Amino acid sequence: MAVYTDITDEELAGFLAGYDLGAATAFKGIAEGVENSNFLLETEAGRFILTVYERRVRPEELPYFLGLMSWLADHDFPSARPVPDREGRTLNTLRGKPAAIAEFMHGLSVRRPTVAHCRAAGGGLARLHEAAADYPGRRVNDLGQPAWAPMFARLHDEAENLKPGLAAVIDRDLAHFEAHWPRDLPGGAIHADLFPDNVFFQGDAFAAAIDFYFACDGAYAYDLAIMLNAWCFEPDGSFNATAAAAMLAGYQAVRPLSAAERSALPILAHGAAMRFFLTRLNDWRATPAGALVKPKDPLEYERKLAVHREGLVL
Amino acid sequence: MAVYTDITDEELAGFLAGYDLGAATAFKGIAEGVENSNFLLETEAGRFILTVYERRVRPEELPYFLGLMSWLADHDFPSARPVPDREGRTLNTLRGKPAAIAEFMHGLSVRRPTVAHCRAAGGGLARLHEAAADYPGRRVNDLGQPAWAPMFARLHDEAENLKPGLAAVIDRDLAHFEAHWPRDLPGGAIHADLFPDNVFFQGDAFAAAIDFYFACDGAYAYDLAIMLNAWCFEPDGSFNATAAAAMLAGYQAVRPLSAAERSALPILAHGAAMRFFLTRLNDWRATPAGALVKPKDPLEYERKLAVHREGLVL
């Protein structure tokens, strides 16, 4: 939940004057997105989401993200289409911060995905990969495998505080990735953060993907590995192989995986768990006590790392 | 901003099964209402607000509030109509808490009301009073004048902490109210909390009143006095007599005030400032450091009290 920036009716009216959307008829801050402020915006022209970009998102990267969202919407993928202003710009400024208006997407995210949701979400990811295949934008994944060892070098103490002995175990993982990380898998633009709260369903059907602010160039199978971690673990920490099989089947019904991609999935999922463990550990450390937004518990991903060390059966 | 209760898709589906609204097609927590959790709920039947009642609202009082909202909607006043379930109940339970679905109301609240907004809001309040005139529900105002002295008896130290010498000044105010509070003014159901964030406009026109959870029996002119305090002070603490005159004119265009009501307005506004000063002082004291919801500053109303001691020219 997050609304960091407070927008007055006058500021909103001034902002909307640059668009061809008529006057606002409703405007409400919504509890969606941890990094940005999001508002339900209804105007005479329809319903939209207004996003004000806060910390973490770099303004110079927004054209890549907004461009990808437009591209996907143009290529038959259900992504919120950014709305251009009267001068054709999708990126503007509100209260001195970058801001954009995008279509309102229908659907509900699910808290505890069923096997059917996992199948549909896998299919949605494959559709995303195919729709984005020729997107001309480029963005290096600054949270990819080469970044992990330097990140962890600053987090040894936090890992030890979390669990004595953990730092050495993580260091062994990182050496393993450095030696064995697959580097020639098929790829292109990936979402890189397609957690359940970033997917909307209508019933069991995939209805939309949102929150493209970690999208980047990467291996398609790595994107799928991120989803296996995010969708196919039970609350008790066990891996749900039925859900994972459904997710892979859903993906492959749209885009079959190569033998190399399939055999790389266990190390990719192990590495994907490392990426989220490291950023959560970093956020955990950086968050002052009593902060408004509670950081996500790094231990959830520490447990997933432990499962991956045993080897996934996929 | 507040979403205290987290609702899963499964809980929502179970809740909606009791209603004749079809399946949910969108569901988002919204940052509206300080006391309750509110959600934008879109179903196959339309758009609604789902409210889960949290602290402060007493469940046994909800039938009065929901009944008043229904009554107003039935009597041509723009209030969100509570939606009955299949068994005709507007009040239900979600995650063990009282919950209700009401119509989605269009419009925007304004941060800094103009004179035109004050005129329209005054007219809206008079319409509310007239529409509610025959509402059969009864609720004593537990934050009315008789409650203030007992409340303040527990807050002496906090007042002194806020401003040395303040407790004696407040005690003199309270004695003045006890001796001079007008007790025979015309009244009925009043909103009792019609601050700018509880009013929606479309352009300059009054579009809706929301958040009836302080509504009670009371003098109509006291309701107007609450609004004079909430709408007609500048950020620098000065009273905007032009805005106040417009508000009174807007009110009287619908429901003329009697001579007794008009002459009572200064003491009613002084007392209304006391009511909000006392509850804010109490909330200020009761809120632990680092709490998620920052209490409103009691000093804003302490300054309004000082203005009222000089006497309002209305």
Nearest Cα to B40, choosing from A266, A38, A10?
A38
pLDDT at A2 over 60: no
Give me the domains of chain B, ranges plus CATH numbers. Answer: 9-103 (3.30.200.20), 115-310 (3.90.1200.10)
Compute φ and ψ for B208, nearest 5 degrees. -175, 155
Helix (H) or strand (E) holding A188: strand A187-190
pLDDT for position A227:
98
- Contacts for B284-287 with beta carbons within 8 Å, 24 or more apart? B284/B158, B285/B155, B285/B158
Please report the ipTM that was assigned to this predicted complex: 0.82
Q: CB-CB: which of A1, A42, A110 is closest to B3? A: A1
Q: Which of A50-64, A280-294, B26-40 has the lowest mean pLDDT?
A: A280-294
B42 strand-pairing partners: B26, B47
The candidate with the shortest Cα–Cα distance to B169, out of B312, B310, B306, B307, is B306
Which ranges of chain B does DSSP label H, i.e. alpha helix? 9-16, 62-74, 115-131, 145-153, 156-162, 166-180, 220-231, 241-254, 259-286, 298-310
Q: Which long-range contacts (CB under 8 A, 24 or more apart) does A299-302 make?
A: A299/A162, A299/A163, A301/A229, A301/A273, A301/A274, A301/A276, A301/A277, A302/A162, A302/A163, A302/A166, A302/A277
Q: Residue B140: helix, strand or coil by DSSP?
A: coil
Q: Which of A1, A12, A105 to mutate to test the interface with B (most CBs of B within 10 A)?
A: A1
Q: Per residue in B135-165, pLDDT tens? A: 999 999 999 999 999 999 999 999 999 999 9
pLDDT tier at B285 (50, 70, 90 boundaries)? confident
For the entire predicted model, the pTM comes to: 0.87
**pLDDT tens profile A209-262:** 999 999 999 999 999 999 999 999 998 999 999 999 999 999 999 999 999 999
Q: How confident is the model at residue A56 (pLDDT cuts 50, 70, 90)?
A: confident
Averaged pLDDT for residues B216-235: 97
The CA-based angle B133-B139-B140, given to 5 degrees, is 115
Q: At B121, which amino acid appears?
A: A
Query: What was the pLDDT predicted at A1?
Result: 37
Residue B5's pLDDT is: 73
Span B26-47, average pLDDT = 89
Which of B15-19, B28-32, B100-104, B186-190 is predicted least confidently? B28-32
Q: What is the pLDDT of residues A81-110, one digit of tens each?
A: 999 999 999 999 999 999 999 999 999 999
pLDDT for res B1: 37
Average pLDDT over residues B173-200: 97
Residue B287 has pLDDT above 70, yes or no: no
**Which of A156-170, A278-292, B24-38, B87-101 has the weakest average pLDDT?**
A278-292
Chain B residues near residue A26 by CB distance under 8 angstroms: 104, 106-108
Give the DSSP per-residue string, A54-75: -SSS-GGGHHHHHHHHHHHHHT
- Chain A residues close to B8, C-beta within 8 Å: 110-112
Q: How far is A113 from chain B (nearest CA, A)?
A: 10
**Interface contact B108-A203, CB threshold 8 A:** no
Query: What pLDDT shows up at residue B282?
Result: 92
Q: What length does chain A have? A: 314
Query: Do A28 and B40 make contact, defined as CB atoms within 8 angstroms?
Result: yes
Give the minimum alpha-carbon distance from B204 to chain A in angstroms, rounded to a whole number. Answer: 12
List the single residue in A27, A108, A290 with the smallest CB-CB distance to B26: A108
Helix (H, G, I), strand (E, B) or coil at A95: coil
Nearest Cα of chain B lies from the Cα of A211 at a distance, in angstroms, of: 15
pLDDT at B56: 77
